[in-house]
Structures are given as C-alpha cells and as structure tokens.
Amino acid sequence: MSYHINSSKNTQQRTAHSNVFRKQRREQPTNNKHKSWRQNDRLKWRHKMKDTKFISGIMYLEQAYTKISGFLQIIFGSIILGDLVDTYSPDGSVHTRTLPALIVVLGCLMVIVAVFGCYTRDNVLFTILYIVFMFILFCLQIALLAWSCSSKTSYLNAISALLTQTWKDNTLGNGYPMNATQINFDCCGLEGYTDYESNNMVVPPSCCGHDTNVACPLSVYQYKIGCEDSFLNFWSGNFEITKYGSISIMLVEFFALLYSVLLVNNLRKTFSDDLYLVTN
C-alpha cells in the first residue's frame, strides 16, 4: 500500500517538474528575443550618437569658417569705408558708403550667429534658433549678391558722374574736393594730369600723395592714371570680390543649414531612444 502511495507521489513530482521545464522552455525564446531587441536598440543608439558627434564636428568646422569669413568681411568693408571717408558727394545722390556698410553689418551678424552656434550642439531648441538665424543670414547674403550683380553697371555710371561733378566743383570755395580723391586713390586729374594743364591750372601736391605746400614734380605724377579710371577700377574690383565672396559664404551657410537640420533630427531620435532604454 505504501509502495503505491510513494509511486503516485513520485509521478506527481515528475509531472510538476516536467510542466515547469516546459514552461521555462516556452519562455526562454521570448526572453532571448527581448534581449536581442534591447541589444539591437542599444547598437542603434550608439550609431546615432556617433552620427550626432560626426555632424557636430562638421558644424564646428563650418562655424569656424563662418567666424573667419565674418571677420574678413568686417575688415574688407572697413578698408573700403576708410578709402571713402572724404569722398565728395554734393547732393548725396550717390551713397558710396552703402555697400561697405552692408558688408560690415553682415560680417558682424555672421560672427554673432557663429558664436551662438557653438552652444547649440546638444540642445534642440538652440539648434532650431541657430537654423532660423542662419536662414536669415543666407537670405541677406542672397540679397547682397543680387544687388551687387544687378546694380553694378548703374552704380558705376553714377560713380563716373560723381567724379565728373567733383572735377567741376574742384574750386577753392568747395575746398578742392579732388585732393582727397587723388590722395586716397593715387591718381591725378579726372583723366590724367593733363586736365590741369589744359585748364591752365597748377598740378596740386595731392597728385604726389600729400596735401602740403611742397611742389609736386612731373616725374611723380606724369604716369599716374586719372581719378575716374582709378575710382571705377576700385569699385569694379570690389564688386567682383563681393560677388564671389558672397557665393562662397552662401555655400557654407547652405551646408550649415543642412547639417543643422540633420543634427536636430538626430538629437530628437537620440533623446527618444534614451527614454525608451530607460523605461525598458
């Protein structure tokens, strides 16, 4: 009798162990699958972090180039403004300082936005603000490029008319406005030093690069070009520098916008994956 009781108990125990074993076997693939999912999620998260660091590195280089370009624009515009400080404009119809002033302002904005961009790499909101500011700069650079290309001919014609008016007003009552132009642009007369001789005038010391009472010898000024050609060459060259400089800066700003959008996208995905890994 006891033998049958023990046998039934052993059978029940074996059945219970077998059921537990089967249950563990059924649960094991699920657990392994869950672990593999978590491992894949962690691998994806690591790849996204690497992509984010790579994009941040590219943006750092672009911001450095933007800052350098901004400083160069400020220097370039300041040099032009320095050369035009005493430019004669009787009626103010020709604003010779407009272009260099715009270049200086854009250069300052570029430096400010680039410095702001250095603090946006791990912040989605700041990166979005950086994108907005960079897009505004990009539009302003397009406007400067469009204006410098479309207005070059009319602007140079206005400059030529301004020089002709300056020559006509080159009298003692007007303070001899040609002197400042001849000193700043290393020229003499409207078309050459012969303009003074044909009008029975003495060649002024400004044709030798100074505004003193010392006489100016012929050997110094006879090979100098006229101020009209010198002034037109000056503005034509600056328009070309502005055009190609704007194109190169626009390319950098375009790629800065592109990588900024990619960075925002990566940061959002990385943050969402962080939350998923923490909650799971």
The reported pLDDT for the residue numbered 92 is 56
Could you tell me if 231 and 185 are in contact, meaning their C-beta atoms sit under 8 angstroms apart?
Answer: yes
12-16, 74-78, 100-104: least confident range: 12-16
DSSP state of 204: P
The reported pLDDT for the residue numbered 158 is 82
Its pTM surpasses 0.85? no
Segment 102-158, tens digit of pLDDT: 889 999 998 998 888 777 666 777 878 888 998 999 999 999 888 888 888 888 888
Q: Please list, in sequence order, all residues whose beta carbon lies within 8 angstroms of the beta carbon of residue 110, skipping any fewer than 6 positions away.
A: 66, 67, 69, 70, 73, 137, 249
Segment 248-280, tens digit of pLDDT: 888 888 888 888 787 777 766 655 544 444 444
The reported pLDDT for the residue numbered 175 is 81
- CA angle centred on 14, ends 11 and 20, rounded to 5°: 140
The reported pLDDT for the residue numbered 138 is 92
Burial level of 241, CB count in 10 A (0-12/13-18/19+)?
A: middle
Compute how many other C-beta atoms are within 10 angstroms of the C-beta atom of residue 183: 18
DSSP state of 226: P
Segment 28-76, tens digit of pLDDT: 444 444 444 444 544 454 555 555 566 666 777 777 888 888 899 899 8
Could you tell me if 232 and 10 are in contact, meaning their C-beta atoms sit under 8 angstroms apart?
Answer: no
Provide the pLDDT confidence category of residue 19 given band limits of 50, 70 and 90.
low
Compute how many other C-beta atoms are within 10 angstroms of the C-beta atom of residue 39: 10
**The residue type at 114:** A
> Could you give the residue ranges of the DSSP H alpha helices within the chain?
2-83, 98-117, 124-150, 152-168, 178-184, 194-198, 218-221, 227-279
- 23 vs 104, more confident: 104
